Amino acid sequence: MTTYDWASAPAHQAIHCGCKVSWKYYDNSYDAEAASKAAEHDAEIQLRRGYDFGYCCPGSIRWVEPGTKFGGDNGRWEVCFP
């Protein structure tokens, strides 16, 4: 199993990096779903290699309210990445 071809991944509008994962933000749910699938795929590979994501869950999607730091003017979808 190989890692996802990130060149064909949807473009994100913002990113926040943490110690074990990062979060990318998308304007629409379609791009967030596609990115989530890629994140889950890469997380499976990294889990097999023994990586610990702590309490974070790569591939998870949540709505970020408008007007917040990463929510932009209209709100965005946040996807957790390994």
Question: What is the 3-state composition of the chain as percent helix, strand, coil, each rounded to the nearest 5?
Answer: 30, 25, 50
pLDDT grade, residue 2 (50/70/90)? low
- The phi, psi pair for 45, rounded to 5°, reads -65, -45
The pLDDT score that the predictor gives to residue 8 is 67
* 3, pLDDT greater than 80: no
Give exposure, 27-60, as e/b (b: 16+ Cβ within 10 Å). beeebbeebbebbbbbbeeeeeeeeeeeebebbe
* 65, pLDDT greater than 60: yes
The pTM assigned to this predicted structure is 0.86
Model confidence over 18-60: pLDDT tens digits?
988 999 999 999 999 999 999 998 899 999 999 988 888 999 9
